[in-house]
Structure 1
């Protein structure tokens, strides 16, 4: 998808934070897990953006009971999911138009389980726009600390036993 297609970032307003700030604040949401096509199970999520690793956002899910789980999700994948089907395999996102509000469904799959979450589109879009205001898509590679990024990938792979 390029900037001329639906969901492109061209012309978006950017983050209006002060110079020297690390980035937009975390986005904290009360969302719902979707079961059998119906959003029912409440859960908390916190999205964070690190300008030194701009290609991904982290999402920490906090269920009512159980332990927190953090996923790293491609920023572009999540953004594209606001406007159409995005992603393959373990992480996918797509918009769902509702009677009262538009939402994004986010599918996360692991070896042990899978879950679909309903995210409020307007809040996610506003937060992602702020991240792109801080580090535009065309500057992601310049802002990336390649050594740290590759180190994280290799550490994650070793932890998964691959």
Structure 2
């Protein structure tokens, strides 16, 4: 019989903490047409790799989009992302001081402009304080995650 190896007992996890940021965003409808919409960015320490962008009010049918916190951070510095979520930093040479996020759904594409300074400050002061970059994996309850993968 092979030796039995057990996983170390999980250390107690602190309660999940979160950081939210409510913002006024602009949906880009055309080259010179935008609509202001309220949104909320959310971050949870028990889901340390992701941020959630939730559309509120009349735009709530756009739902909640989840994507990488690192992608959001990278998009503040340079164009980032592939596929359904792409992010561009402010481009003052084209008169845009905001962060632009493209969200591609099955049937449509939405461009959203967000205030880059507020997002940068929120990431630095709140999300990176809750879970410093590079330590995300230590905040995941691996035994529970493995249980989700096995019958």
Q: Which bin holds the TM-score, normalised by the shorter protein? A: 0.7 to 0.9
Distance (Å, rounded) in 2 between the aligned partners of 1:107 and 1:93: 6
Gaps of 5+ in 1: 1-19, 155-162
The structure that has the greater radius of gyration is 2
Q: Does 1:133 align with 2:129?
A: yes
CA contact (8 A) 1:44 1:61 kept: yes
- The answer to whether the aligner puts 1:143 opposite 2:139 as a matched pair is yes
Q: Deviations over 1:20-49 (max 9, x none)?
A: 88233x100111011233451111110111
Q: Please, what is the CA RMSD of the aligned residues?
A: 2.6
Q: How does 1:22-41 map to 2 (within 5 A)?
A: 22-24=17-19, 26-38=20-32, 40-41=34-35
1:64 alignment partner, SS class: helix
User: Aligned partners of 2:146 and 2:40: how far apart in 1?
Assistant: 21
For 1:73 and 1:120, the matched residues in 2 are separated by: 18
Instruction: Give the TM-score normalised by the residue count of structure 2.
Output: 0.76
Contact 1:47 1:57 in 2 (8 A): yes
Would the aligned equivalents of 1:81 and 1:95 in 2 still touch at CA under 8 Å? yes
Call closer, same or farther: CA 1:150–1:101 in 2, change over 3 Å.
farther
Query: Unpaired runs of 5+ in structure 2?
Result: 1-14
Q: 1:53 to 1:63 in 2, by over 3 A?
A: same
Give the match for residue 17 of structure 1.
none
Matched positions, count: 132
Cα separation, 1, equivalents of 2:146 and 2:41: 18
Counterpart of 1:77 in structure 2 is 71
Aligned residue for 2:38, secondary structure, equals strand
